[in-house]
Amino acid sequence: MSDLGFHIQTFQAEDGAELSYVDVGSGQPMIYVCGFGSTIESQASFIEEMSSKGRILVFDQRAFGMTPAAGEMGIHRTARDVRALMLHLNLDSVILYGYSMGAAAAFSYVRQFGTDRISKIILGDMSPKLINEDGWNLGLYQGHYTREMYERDLEWIRSDYKRFALLVAEGLLFPNTPEGPRDFTGCADEIRSRILRRRSDLIAQTLIKGMVDITPEHMAANYHYWFTMAGEDFRDVLPEIDVPVLILYADPGSGYCPGTAKYMGEQIPHAELMPVYGCTHMAASENPMQWRGAIAAFAFR
């Protein structure tokens, strides 16, 4: 039993890597794939609450939390690790829930394996394509994130990680509209001060800590997670999802706009949309009652 109150187990991926996971509750299994930087520890309250409704499985992705960096890393490997956990436990009819980067891993799972072993999918506030280009404006930062910014971010992850991470945190913490101005300037200290002048609540502090106060190993691994997530285009995957899908999204949002969710709802054959109003990308923390209630109602009804 860990300090979190969960029994931490490990499973072996196809390449031999050992990943830490928790498996709590009973009944219908749901694998929750966390967002960028999130861990079993950071999601403990969600895991505990949802375990009263069904069987909840969460693993620390490679270089996150209790799982060391090993082998290939990125969302495509995370998708294969999801598959490895299913096979390890002989799970079938799984509800696959991905929040933010975890939703990108869910898209990758469908591209690699279809919907084999999956009964439902929950997508939490994500876009199938983050880079806005060639007429596409439903990506990251509500249409503001360009390929030039993507290339810059990859450079900063390796040379000025805190600056990169704080800009991401700032872009996710404040409600916006696609037409609203955004500030992508400043050094790390300036960006941190700018954030905390506008928002210093526990949600902001926790996000900054989870994004910035991490090990050098985790920082290095995040290059691969950002490269595979932000550089991918999953729009072609959406029509191939042939199981029921819940699209949870923030309105007005910050990372993505409501129009992104509407687009996905039009492309996925069996999708329903659930807005969480008055929230940013941090909707799961800003309005946990509605967020968790929507997940439970869809997953375990």
Closest CA to 152 of 176, 168, 139: 168
The answer for residues whose C-beta is within 8 angstroms of residue 31's C-beta and 6 or more apart is: 57, 58, 59, 82, 85, 86, 91, 94, 95, 96, 97
289 falls in which pLDDT band (50, 70, 90)?
A: very high
Give the Cα separation of 51 and 58 in Å (integer).
Answer: 11
Handedness of CA 183, 186, 188, 191 (dihedral sign): negative
Report the mean per-residue pLDDT for the chain.
96
User: What percentage of the chain exceeds 90 in pLDDT?
Assistant: 95
Query: Where are the domains positioned within the chain?
Result: 9-130+233-299, 140-230
Q: What is the pLDDT of residues 213-240, one digit of tens each?
A: 999 999 999 999 999 999 999 999 999 9
- Residue 269 · residue 121 · CB < 8 Å: no
Q: How far is CA 289 from CA 98, 99, 170, 185, 251, in A?
A: 18, 16, 24, 35, 16
- Neighbour order of strands in the sheet with 94-99: 9-12, 18-24, 55-59, 29-33, 94-99, 118-124, 245-252, 271-279
For 33, the 3-state DSSP assignment is strand
In this prediction, residues 38-51 reach a mean pLDDT of: 95
Give the Cα separation of 22 and 8 in Å (integer).
Answer: 5
pLDDT at 3 over 80: no
What is the pTM for the complete model shown? 0.97
Classified by CATH at the fold level, domain 9-130+233-299 comes out as: Rossmann fold (3.40.50)
Closest CA to 4 of 37, 40, 28: 40
- pLDDT of amino acid 301: 82
Q: What is the pLDDT of residues 58-117, one digit of tens each?
A: 999 999 999 999 999 999 999 999 999 999 999 999 999 999 999 999 999 999 999 999
Give the Cα separation of 110 and 79 in Å (integer).
Answer: 9
- pLDDT of amino acid 1: 55
- pLDDT of amino acid 242: 98
pLDDT at 2 over 80: no
